[in-house]
Amino acid sequence: MKKQKVIKENLDLGTFVHIEEDENKQQDVLENMWYDNLPDTKDDDDKLNKIFLHQMELQKKLGVYEKISKRESMKQQYINQMILAIHEEAVEIMRETAYKNPDMVPFGWKKGQEFNNEKFKEEIIDIIHFVMNLCIISGMGPEEIFNRYMNKNKENFKRQDENY
């Protein structure tokens, strides 16, 4: 039986536990991220929290957190990839709408193009996945998203009231 040395390391993403089995091998295990402060996951009504937890588990399974912890530049590369993915999904949304149909838009050029609402919804969900990844990597959980959203929404209403 090999002797194991456990080292905890606090990083931007949270706490990683390194289990060193010997000098040549080190296993990184994600112990917890920022989500120590998430609401109780037993609450079935907290759908945003559930979405976050599922997305975090997927990213953990894909090895994202371990890759990012290796080098500082990996976090930036990950952010760049998520932004590019969001952009691509936005283009896919356009392809599923009638954005070229002259019967739907004033400068359309492709008659017969139809709006596919089911595909439209699928592409929106794809964007949500990538946005969730950005939220997770920034350390923003459901509570902070809610608070920031409410503040921004209030600001937007104020702007409209002031003829922004």
The model's pLDDT over 108-137, given as tens digits with 9 standing for 90+, comes to 999 988 999 999 999 999 999 999 999 999
- Rounded to whole angstroms, the Cα distance separating 42 from 100 reads 46
Q: Can you give the pLDDT at residue 13?
A: 43
Spatial CA neighbour of 64 closest among 35, 28, 25: 28
d(CA 95, CA 116): 9
User: In order of start, what are the domains of the chain with their CATH numbers?
Assistant: 41-161 (1.10.287)
pLDDT digits (tens, 9 = 90+) for 15-28: 444 434 444 443 44
Q: For the ranges 3-17, 38-52, 71-85, 126-140, which has the lowest average pLDDT?
A: 3-17
Q: How far apart are CA 55 and CA 142, in angstroms?
A: 12
